[in-house]
Structure 1
Amino acid sequence: METTLAAPRRTLARDRIAVFAVFVSFGLVLGTWAAHLPSVKAAVGASSSSMGAILLILGVGAVLGMQVTGYAVDRYGSGPVAAVGAVAMSLAVVPPLVLTTWLTVAVAALMLGFAVGISEVGMNAAAVEVERDYQRPIMASFHGMFSIGNVIGALVGAAAFALDIGVTATAVVVAALSLGLAAAATPTLSRRRSGASSSSSDNDTVDDTVSGRAPRQRWRLILLGTLAFLLLLTEGSAMDWSSLHAQQHLGGTSSAGALALACFVSAMTVGRFTVDRVAERVGPVVVLRGGSILAMAGLAVVVLSPALALTCTGWVLLGLGLSGCVPQVFTATGNLQGASAKDLSRVVGAGYLAVLAGPAVVGWLADIVGLNNAFVLPIVAMAICLGAANVLAAPKRTPV
């Protein structure tokens, strides 16, 4: 009996580690991209609104990738799709960092965004399936591994700036590291092809037995997607503009900008490795409410602070507040009765529309009212999340 139980445990551990590797690779690529945005801006001679347009194009690519991936996960399974996305991101991160004209960077950003969309849906679908197999909350730990990748990317960027290492060399090293993680995870992920089909059959059962509740479930999915949008709008704004904010608003160096980003993603990492236990005790609604309040306080500190040290404190508060919110939304989606891979892809896709809208709008607002004042937008977004936290409450089920 012990041998029979040990094998599944080893299999679950391998699956979890493989998905961990994809999340780390994802965070490493995006952390590197975010840390080097000021360098990209300087290389192409772009204004804040022009950089916002590049981020908009990246968001368009991500949304397109997500649309394709929703069907791919149902057909081929989450594991192979997550592996393909990780490899694609590893290869796509170099061009937008090393090209020197706005048009070529925009095209490269579109390609990177498409790879982001594939990887985002694939790895979150795989994480939901592994969490179901574990039969206990572990979703935030996957996002914690993403944050670890972010921290590594931000710190690599800060070290490269401090040591005067070129952007091209840094991009190639990061791509190699990310590709190595993807290669190590691919054999395990390729064997994980189940999940989508079983979810689809669950959906058929639900439609046949509780079809009267279908409209309620559709509205719940829309509300969960809205929450994901607002939360990722705030997170994306911090990821894409915290470094530039430290340089433009406070007159800091490139290293100071990378440090501001590192403070935010480090706080996200700490929070995500602890929030599963907190959510188990107090529930997802309290996690979202408390996180929204803490995030608004952190953004207020960032906007009002005259010094880098205090600003970094604000980024830490924002990171801690946001850390548990998105995982709760994805877990709630995965735990909907009869939820399929397409349902998760829709919520993830709706959330990552914020990648398209949020940072781009912040860039446009920055040209009008200044980058510091533009952070009022994510403050409003978090206030809405605070008011809508009850969406995460488990719906009451009536006997069939």
Structure 2
Amino acid sequence: MSVDTVTAAPPRAARVATWIYFGLNGFAVGMWVVHIPNVEHATGISHSTLGLLLLVLGGAAFIGMQVAGPLADRLGQRRLVPAAGVLIGVSLFAPGFATNWWTLALALLAVGFGNGSIDVAMNSQAVVVERAYPRPIMAAFHAMWSIGGAFAALIGAAALKADVPTAVSLSVSGVVVIVVSLLAGRFLIEAPAEPSPAADEPERVAPPRKLVWKLGALAFALMLAEGVANDWAALQFRDVLGTSTSTAAYAYGAFAVAMTVGRFCTDRVAAVVGPAAIVRYGALLAAIGLTTVIVVPWVPVALVGWALFGLGLSGGVPQLFTAAGNLDPRASGALMAKVVGLGYVGLLAGPALIGALAHWMPLNLAFILPVALCAITVASASVMKR
């Protein structure tokens, strides 16, 4: 298949297809998450064992990212993205049939590797699609991931209420992911071939390794902050502010809704002010929001603080991923794998670090860590201008 044939696919169709893959990934992860309690009960494992197995999933995802990045550059996103979608769809079958800790560990190895693979592959495709547009569109792709997760929460809750067996729910979800992945793949596009430099032109050099690590460090900081909200927002309301469990759920809800809305709005703002401003002032807004949560003990104000935290974090990571993918189109996937991988490490590390700090200080004071990382991001956002 020639490059001309591949790139003949309309950018709008490729954009919709990429939206679908982000939504599918969010849906697949969400269906696994809502069934975690059932899987834990079926396998007879303890909470501590489950925590260790979730680290296995995270490690497998990181490996999947590092494998998928170079493969995207070698095989092309049009081949790799559907393959990764099929892989995570197939892997969804496994947790529902696990009967003990080691079968669940094998299942989570597959789920993690598939999730990491599609994460890098679809972000690489998003960078290619964005290049065909006259304005930024990356943040909206990430918003679709959140929409997919919301659908999974609704569908999963309905299935659990109807007592549908976990194996059936996850298997049907896996089939849906596989079928849609195969159907959407035909609309993806490849990056155009890089023209050979003229005889009098200098050969293009690889981007400085230090720059790649700086982008990765910013992704680590912002995604660590996001992970803190995912796991600790509701607990902060319940344990620090003394609310009921049902009221505590609104804390994460405010964060998640604000982040989703922010991602749908970020692209148009980024087209006007530029990606560096999105990272800098978004991190500043996030720091202000979480500081409000720390110092104000009133539930309505704290809800506003969590919402500001989500709104501030919503646009930064997509800008970092886009920057990594455009550093060198010849190695876009491999460069994104590094930045996405470091961000994912932050997402996993954040909740654990806050848990460790909470043993030594009040939970509110432990939130100073993500506030400090947001402040460091504000000071370091100028790296985006390079």
TM-score normalized by the length of structure 1: 0.79
Q: Please report how far the alpha carbon of residue 122 of structure 1 lies from its aligned counterpart in structure 2 after TM superposition.
A: 0.3
1:45 aligns to what? 46
Contact 1:62–1:114 at 8 Å: present in 2 too? yes
Q: How many percent identity over aligned positions?
A: 39
Structure 1, 315-324 or 242-251: larger mean CA deviation: 242-251
Change (3 A) 1:354 1:149: same
Aligned letter for 1:198? A
1:346 is aligned, of 308, 330, 338, to: 338
- Say if 1:323 and 1:113 are closer, same or farther in 2 by CA, change over 3 A: same
> What's 2:29 paired with?
30
Residue among 319, 324, 333 paired with 1:333: 324
- 1:282 paired residue number: 273
3-state SS of the aligned residue for 1:209? coil
| Alpha-carbon shift at residue 365 of structure 1 (Å) | 4.0
Q: Partner of 2:3 in structure 1?
A: none
Query: Cα–Cα, structure 1 residues 310 and 331, in superposed 2: closer, same or farther, change >3 Å?
Result: same
Q: How many residues align?
A: 376
Is residue 56–residue 108 contact of structure 2 (8 Å, CA) maintained in 1?
A: yes
Amino acid in the other structure paired with 1:299: L
Alignment of 1:198 with 2:193, yes or no, is yes
Letter of the structure 1 residue corresponding to residue 193 of structure 2: S
Structure 1 counterpart of 2:115: 116
Name the amino acid aligned to 1:46.
Answer: H
C-alpha contact (below 8 Å) 1:296/1:379 kept by paired residues = yes
Provide the residue aligned with 1:71 in structure 2. 70
For the structure 1 residues 129 and 365, does the alpha-carbon distance in structure 2 shift closer, same or farther, using more than 3 Å as the test? Answer: same
- Helix, strand or coil: the match of 2:222? helix
| Secondary structure, counterpart of 2:47 in structure 1 | coil
Q: Shift of residue 100 of structure 1?
A: 6.7
1:1-400 superposed matches below 5 A: 11-35=10-34, 44-47=45-48, 52-93=51-92, 95-96=94-95, 99=98, 101-156=100-155, 163=161, 165=163, 168=166, 171-172=170-171, 174-189=173-188, 192=189, 194-195=190-191, 198=193, 208-209=202-203, 211=205, 217-242=208-233, 252-253=244-245, 260-303=251-294, 311-336=302-327, 340-341=331-332, 342-366=334-358, 369=361, 374-393=366-385, 395=386
* Deviation (angstroms), 1:20: 0.8
Amino acid in structure 2 at the alignment position of 1:388: S
Q: Report the 3-state secondary structure (helix = DSSP H, G, I; strand = E; otherwise coil) of the residue aligned with 1:44.
A: coil
Separation in 1, partners of 2:298, 2:145: 29
Q: Deviations over 1:225-249 (max 9, x none)?
A: 1111111222233334445666666
- Which amino acid in the other structure matches residue 350 of structure 1? L
Distance 1:305 1:102 in 2: 43
The amino acid across from 1:209 in the alignment is E
- Give 3-state SS (helix, strand or coil) of 2:254's partner: helix
Taking a change above 3 Å as real, the CA distance of residues 270 and 182 of structure 1, as seen in their structure-2 partners, is: same
Task: Indicate how the Cα distance of structure 1 residues 160 and 304 shifts in structure 2: closer, same or farther if over 3 A, else same.
Answer: farther
Q: Judging changes above 3 Å, is the alpha-carbon distance between structure 1 residues 210 and 385 closer, same or farther for their aligned structure 2 residues?
A: same
Rounded to whole Å, the distance in 1 between the matches of 2:360 and 2:198 is 51
RMSD of aligned residue pairs (Cα, Å):
3.7
Structure 2 counterpart of 1:220, which letter?
L
CA–CA distance in 1 between the matches of 2:159 and 2:294? 28
Query: How many angstroms apart in 1 are the aligned matches of 2:368 and 2:33?
Result: 20
Range 291-300 or range 381-390, more displaced:
291-300
Deviation per residue, 1:49-92 (Å, 9 max, x gap): x5553333222111110121122112211122111222222333
Q: Which structure 1 residue ranges, 5 or more long, are not aligned?
A: 1-6, 396-400
Name the SS for the 1:198 alignment partner: coil
CA distance in 2, matches of 1:94, 1:244: 31
Q: Tell me if the contact between 1:154 and 1:259 (Cα under 8 Å) persists in the aligned partners.
A: no
Q: 1:236-285 deviations in whole A, cap 9, x for unaligned?
A: 333344456666665644x6666544433322221111111111212222
**Alpha-carbon contact 1:38-1:244 (below 8 Å) kept:** no
